[in-house]
Amino acid sequence: MPGVRARHMARHDLPRVIAIENEIYSFPWSPGNFSDSLEAGYDCWAFDDGSGALVAYAVVMWIPDEVHLLNLSVAAPRQRRGLGRAILEWVSADAARRGARGMLLEVRPSNLPALRLYERSGFERIGVRRRYYPAPDQQREDAWVLFRRFGAQAGQGEQGGHDSPEVGGMR
């Protein structure tokens, strides 16, 4: 995936972020969710293709000694090519380098591609949040709570950190 770089998300990225969000999710985050995340000082990452075109993003909230991955999304045309995994590993390495002991996230049990990604990345199911997500016909879907403990090597190597904006060997 040559040419993908990480940078801090900025307000001017929000129209593209929201467009991607609306394109790929039946129940997308609202513009206010993204704006509030920026204002709260969460780690909001934008990933561009080198020409400045935003192709993915991630939102990470720090809790005392771990991080909570709130959103990791890849534009539809770039999905199923390993970009999500590369971003997940980059975000994990960045958090580990900065002192996080692990990462927590919620995922829909019906989101099989995401579940495969997280399982292959070492996440384990630690709980369930009942009726967490909106679903069709005014229903609610549970969320599986997953956690990945970072190992000693998670914060090392060429994938992580603010000093290295390359994502998973991608520029």
Q: What is the domain partition of the chain in residue ranges? A: 5-149
Res 168: pLDDT: 55
Q: Is 80 annotated as a binding-site member? A: yes
CATH of domain 5-149: 3.40.630.30
Residue 118 falls in the annotated catalytic set: yes
14 labeled part of a ligand binding site: no
The residue annotated as part of the active site, out of 21, 57, 89, 118, is: 118
Instruction: Name the band, by pLDDT with cuts 50, 70 and 90, for residue 50.
Output: confident
Cβ–Cβ under 8 Å, residues 137 and 126? no
3-state helix, strand, coil in the chain (%, to 5): 30, 35, 35
Question: What pLDDT digit, counting tens, does each position of 78-129 carry?
Answer: 999 899 999 999 999 999 999 999 999 999 999 999 999 999 999 999 999 9
Looking at residue 26, its amino acid is S
Q: Would residue 132 show up in a list of annotated catalytic residues for this protein?
A: no
* Pairing, β 66-74 against β 102-107: parallel
pLDDT at 155 over 90: no
pLDDT in the model for residue 165: 58
Overall pTM surpassing 0.95 (yes/no): no
- Residues 156, 82: Cα–Cα separation, whole Å: 21
Q: Is position 85 annotated in a ligand binding site?
A: yes
Average pLDDT, the chain: 89
Amino acid (1-letter code) at residue 169: G
Question: CA 8, CA 43: separation in Å to the nearest integer?
Answer: 8
